[in-house]
Amino acid sequence: MIRIAAVGDVHLDETVRGRLRPALDHVHEHADVLLLAGDLTRHGTLSEAEVVAAEFGGLPIPVVAVLGNHDYHSDQQDDIAALLTDSGITMLEGDGTVLRVDGHRLGIAGVKGFGGGFAGKCGSAFGEPEMKSFVRHTAEIADRLGRALKDLDADVRVALTHYSPVPDTLRGEPPEIYPFLGSYLLAEAIDAASSDLAVHGHAHFGTEQGVTPGGVRVRNVAQPVIRAAYSLYCIEP
Protein backbone atom coordinates (compact mmCIF):
# COMPACT_ATOMS: atom_id res chain seq x y z
CA MET A 1 0.00 0.00 0.00
CA ILE A 2 1.33 3.41 -1.01
CA ARG A 3 -0.13 6.32 0.96
CA ILE A 4 0.07 9.72 -0.71
CA ALA A 5 -0.70 13.02 1.02
CA ALA A 6 -1.23 16.00 -1.26
CA VAL A 7 -2.12 19.68 -1.07
CA GLY A 8 -1.84 22.69 -3.38
CA ASP A 9 -2.46 26.42 -3.26
CA VAL A 10 -1.33 26.97 0.32
CA HIS A 11 -0.26 30.55 -0.59
CA LEU A 12 2.07 31.01 2.37
CA ASP A 13 3.63 34.22 3.59
CA GLU A 14 4.83 35.49 6.95
CA THR A 15 1.27 36.23 8.13
CA VAL A 16 0.27 32.55 8.01
CA ARG A 17 3.56 30.99 9.16
CA GLY A 18 2.99 27.81 11.15
CA ARG A 19 -0.66 27.50 10.16
CA LEU A 20 -0.29 24.04 8.61
CA ARG A 21 2.42 22.75 10.89
CA PRO A 22 0.20 21.21 13.62
CA ALA A 23 -1.36 18.92 11.00
CA LEU A 24 1.96 18.32 9.22
CA ASP A 25 3.63 17.20 12.43
CA HIS A 26 1.53 14.01 12.19
CA VAL A 27 1.53 13.53 8.41
CA HIS A 28 4.07 10.69 8.57
CA GLU A 29 1.58 8.65 10.63
CA HIS A 30 -0.82 8.69 7.67
CA ALA A 31 1.30 9.02 4.53
CA ASP A 32 4.54 7.85 2.90
CA VAL A 33 5.05 10.98 0.81
CA LEU A 34 3.67 14.53 0.67
CA LEU A 35 3.02 16.15 -2.72
CA LEU A 36 2.73 19.94 -3.09
CA ALA A 37 0.81 21.02 -6.20
CA GLY A 38 2.11 24.55 -6.65
CA ASP A 39 1.13 28.07 -5.52
CA LEU A 40 3.21 27.54 -2.44
CA THR A 41 3.71 31.30 -2.01
CA ARG A 42 1.46 34.31 -2.35
CA HIS A 43 3.55 36.75 -4.44
CA GLY A 44 6.43 34.49 -5.46
CA THR A 45 9.07 36.14 -3.26
CA LEU A 46 12.06 34.55 -1.59
CA SER A 47 10.90 35.65 1.85
CA GLU A 48 7.63 33.80 1.28
CA ALA A 49 9.57 30.77 0.04
CA GLU A 50 11.46 30.78 3.34
CA VAL A 51 8.11 30.36 5.10
CA VAL A 52 7.32 27.44 2.77
CA ALA A 53 10.70 25.87 3.59
CA ALA A 54 10.03 26.19 7.33
CA GLU A 55 6.49 24.83 6.98
CA PHE A 56 7.33 21.76 4.87
CA GLY A 57 11.01 21.28 5.64
CA GLY A 58 12.25 18.70 8.10
CA LEU A 59 9.27 16.36 7.82
CA PRO A 60 10.04 12.66 8.36
CA ILE A 61 8.58 11.73 4.93
CA PRO A 62 9.77 12.90 1.49
CA VAL A 63 8.15 16.11 0.20
CA VAL A 64 7.88 16.49 -3.60
CA ALA A 65 6.65 19.73 -5.17
CA VAL A 66 6.03 21.74 -8.31
CA LEU A 67 5.67 25.52 -8.47
CA GLY A 68 2.49 27.34 -9.50
CA ASN A 69 1.72 30.61 -11.23
CA HIS A 70 1.84 32.61 -7.96
CA ASP A 71 5.39 31.33 -7.43
CA TYR A 72 6.37 32.93 -10.77
CA HIS A 73 4.84 36.34 -10.02
CA SER A 74 8.07 38.06 -8.89
CA ASP A 75 10.29 36.38 -11.52
CA GLN A 76 12.18 34.58 -8.74
CA GLN A 77 10.97 31.07 -9.52
CA ASP A 78 14.45 29.63 -10.03
CA ASP A 79 15.70 31.05 -6.74
CA ILE A 80 12.56 29.82 -4.99
CA ALA A 81 13.08 26.31 -6.37
CA ALA A 82 16.72 26.38 -5.25
CA LEU A 83 15.79 27.56 -1.76
CA LEU A 84 13.17 24.84 -1.39
CA THR A 85 15.59 22.22 -2.72
CA ASP A 86 18.10 23.32 -0.06
CA SER A 87 15.41 22.78 2.58
CA GLY A 88 15.08 19.14 1.52
CA ILE A 89 12.04 19.41 -0.77
CA THR A 90 12.34 17.61 -4.13
CA MET A 91 11.36 20.20 -6.75
CA LEU A 92 10.15 18.90 -10.10
CA GLU A 93 9.84 20.74 -13.42
CA GLY A 94 9.98 18.40 -16.35
CA ASP A 95 11.69 15.65 -14.38
CA GLY A 96 10.83 12.92 -11.91
CA THR A 97 11.84 11.06 -8.81
CA VAL A 98 11.40 7.46 -7.66
CA LEU A 99 10.81 6.60 -4.01
CA ARG A 100 10.91 3.17 -2.41
CA VAL A 101 7.65 2.69 -0.47
CA ASP A 102 6.56 -0.53 1.22
CA GLY A 103 8.68 -2.56 -1.19
CA HIS A 104 7.33 -0.76 -4.26
CA ARG A 105 8.79 1.91 -6.51
CA LEU A 106 6.65 5.09 -6.49
CA GLY A 107 7.52 7.34 -9.42
CA ILE A 108 6.46 10.99 -9.45
CA ALA A 109 6.92 13.29 -12.45
CA GLY A 110 5.99 16.95 -12.26
CA VAL A 111 5.56 20.19 -14.15
CA LYS A 112 3.83 23.46 -13.43
CA GLY A 113 1.65 23.02 -16.49
CA PHE A 114 -0.20 25.91 -18.13
CA GLY A 115 -3.50 26.85 -19.76
CA GLY A 116 -4.81 26.38 -23.26
CA GLY A 117 -8.14 24.66 -22.77
CA PHE A 118 -9.60 21.25 -23.30
CA ALA A 119 -10.20 19.00 -26.27
CA GLY A 120 -12.40 20.68 -28.86
CA LYS A 121 -12.41 23.97 -26.97
CA CYS A 122 -8.76 24.92 -26.87
CA GLY A 123 -6.37 27.47 -28.32
CA SER A 124 -4.13 26.79 -31.32
CA ALA A 125 -0.61 27.97 -32.12
CA PHE A 126 -1.89 30.29 -34.85
CA GLY A 127 -2.01 34.02 -35.51
CA GLU A 128 -0.37 36.58 -33.26
CA PRO A 129 3.00 35.74 -31.69
CA GLU A 130 1.45 36.10 -28.22
CA MET A 131 -1.11 33.39 -29.02
CA LYS A 132 1.47 31.08 -30.55
CA SER A 133 3.74 31.60 -27.57
CA PHE A 134 0.88 30.83 -25.14
CA VAL A 135 -0.08 27.55 -26.81
CA ARG A 136 3.51 26.45 -27.48
CA HIS A 137 4.39 27.01 -23.83
CA THR A 138 1.71 24.49 -22.84
CA ALA A 139 2.71 22.03 -25.56
CA GLU A 140 6.37 22.13 -24.50
CA ILE A 141 5.47 21.61 -20.85
CA ALA A 142 3.15 18.70 -21.71
CA ASP A 143 5.92 17.09 -23.80
CA ARG A 144 8.32 17.35 -20.89
CA LEU A 145 5.74 15.84 -18.53
CA GLY A 146 5.13 12.96 -20.93
CA ARG A 147 8.85 12.21 -21.25
CA ALA A 148 9.42 12.46 -17.49
CA LEU A 149 6.54 10.07 -16.77
CA LYS A 150 7.75 7.53 -19.32
CA ASP A 151 11.30 7.73 -17.97
CA LEU A 152 10.17 6.71 -14.48
CA ASP A 153 11.36 3.21 -13.65
CA ALA A 154 8.50 2.59 -11.23
CA ASP A 155 5.61 0.33 -10.23
CA VAL A 156 3.26 3.27 -9.69
CA ARG A 157 3.37 6.51 -11.70
CA VAL A 158 1.95 9.78 -10.38
CA ALA A 159 1.75 13.04 -12.35
CA LEU A 160 2.04 16.21 -10.26
CA THR A 161 1.01 19.53 -11.82
CA HIS A 162 -0.36 22.89 -10.76
CA TYR A 163 -2.68 23.40 -13.74
CA SER A 164 -5.41 20.86 -14.42
CA PRO A 165 -5.20 18.14 -17.08
CA VAL A 166 -8.99 17.72 -17.24
CA PRO A 167 -12.14 19.86 -17.06
CA ASP A 168 -13.84 17.46 -14.61
CA THR A 169 -12.07 18.89 -11.57
CA LEU A 170 -12.89 22.46 -12.64
CA ARG A 171 -16.64 22.06 -12.11
CA GLY A 172 -17.67 25.05 -10.01
CA GLU A 173 -15.38 27.42 -11.88
CA PRO A 174 -16.89 29.60 -14.64
CA PRO A 175 -16.57 27.62 -17.92
CA GLU A 176 -15.31 30.79 -19.63
CA ILE A 177 -12.02 30.61 -17.69
CA TYR A 178 -11.33 26.90 -18.21
CA PRO A 179 -8.66 27.72 -20.86
CA PHE A 180 -6.73 29.56 -18.14
CA LEU A 181 -7.01 26.69 -15.68
CA GLY A 182 -5.48 23.82 -17.62
CA SER A 183 -4.89 21.95 -20.83
CA TYR A 184 -5.91 18.62 -22.31
CA LEU A 185 -2.31 18.25 -23.53
CA LEU A 186 -1.33 17.43 -19.94
CA ALA A 187 -3.95 14.65 -19.83
CA GLU A 188 -2.75 13.28 -23.15
CA ALA A 189 0.78 13.02 -21.73
CA ILE A 190 -0.52 11.41 -18.53
CA ASP A 191 -2.55 8.85 -20.48
CA ALA A 192 0.30 8.03 -22.88
CA ALA A 193 2.52 7.06 -19.94
CA SER A 194 -0.09 4.76 -18.33
CA SER A 195 -0.08 6.80 -15.15
CA ASP A 196 -1.92 5.71 -12.01
CA LEU A 197 -2.89 9.08 -10.58
CA ALA A 198 -2.73 12.77 -11.48
CA VAL A 199 -2.71 15.45 -8.79
CA HIS A 200 -3.15 19.18 -9.43
CA GLY A 201 -4.28 22.44 -7.81
CA HIS A 202 -5.02 25.94 -9.17
CA ALA A 203 -8.83 25.71 -9.35
CA HIS A 204 -10.06 26.97 -5.98
CA PHE A 205 -13.74 26.67 -6.90
CA GLY A 206 -13.34 23.30 -8.61
CA THR A 207 -14.09 19.80 -7.34
CA GLU A 208 -11.76 17.11 -6.06
CA GLN A 209 -12.45 14.17 -8.36
CA GLY A 210 -12.03 13.70 -12.09
CA VAL A 211 -10.70 11.26 -14.64
CA THR A 212 -8.68 11.61 -17.84
CA PRO A 213 -10.05 10.44 -21.21
CA GLY A 214 -7.76 7.40 -20.79
CA GLY A 215 -9.16 6.51 -17.36
CA VAL A 216 -6.49 7.92 -15.02
CA ARG A 217 -7.90 9.27 -11.76
CA VAL A 218 -7.35 13.03 -11.30
CA ARG A 219 -7.55 14.81 -7.95
CA ASN A 220 -7.73 18.57 -7.45
CA VAL A 221 -6.02 19.18 -4.10
CA ALA A 222 -6.28 22.98 -4.02
CA GLN A 223 -6.66 23.68 -0.31
CA PRO A 224 -9.98 25.54 -0.66
CA VAL A 225 -11.32 22.40 -2.40
CA ILE A 226 -10.10 19.76 0.05
CA ARG A 227 -10.67 22.02 3.12
CA ALA A 228 -7.87 20.35 5.11
CA ALA A 229 -4.10 20.56 5.46
CA TYR A 230 -3.83 17.75 2.89
CA SER A 231 -5.78 14.94 1.27
CA LEU A 232 -4.86 11.25 1.50
CA TYR A 233 -4.89 8.76 -1.37
CA CYS A 234 -3.94 5.09 -1.06
CA ILE A 235 -2.80 2.99 -4.01
CA GLU A 236 -2.27 -0.77 -3.92
CA PRO A 237 0.28 -1.51 -6.69
Cα 99 from Cα 105, distance rounded (Å): 6
Residue type, 51: V
* Minimum distance from residue 97 beta carbon to other proteins (Å): 20
CB 83 within 8 A of CB 51: no
With CB under 8 A as the contact rule, the residue among 197, 198, 199, 218 that binds other proteins is 197
Of 218, 207, 202, nearest to 36 by C-alpha is 202
Strand, helix or coil for residue 11:
coil
Residues in contact with other proteins, counted by CB under 8 A, come to a total of 37
Instruction: Based on the shown chain and the rule CB under 8 A, indicate whether residue 15 belongs to the binding site for other proteins.
Output: yes
Of 38-77, binders to other proteins (CB under 8 A) are: 42-43, 70, 73
* Minimum distance from residue 34 beta carbon to other proteins (Å): 12
Strand, helix or coil for residue 166:
coil
Cα 92 from Cα 220, distance rounded (Å): 18
Of 40, 35, 41, nearest to 61 by C-alpha is 35
The window from 75-83, 116-124, 134-142, 225-233 that contacts other proteins (CB under 8 A) reads: 225-233
Of 19-38, binders to other proteins (CB under 8 A) are: 19-20, 22-23, 26, 30
What one-character DSSP code corresponds to residue 42? S
The window from 89-97, 104-112, 139-147, 214-222 that contacts other proteins (CB under 8 A) reads: 214-222
For other proteins, give the closer residue by CB, 25 or 78. 25
Instruction: Based on the shown chain and the rule CB under 8 A, indicate whether residue 237 belongs to the binding site for other proteins.
Output: no
For other proteins, give the closer residue by CB, 45 or 98. 45
Instruction: Based on the shown chain and the rule CB under 8 A, indicate whether residue 227 belongs to the binding site for other proteins.
Output: yes
With CB under 8 A as the contact rule, the residue among 11, 112, 157, 200 that binds other proteins is 11
CA atoms within 13 A on the CB side of 11: 11
CB 78 within 8 A of CB 128: no
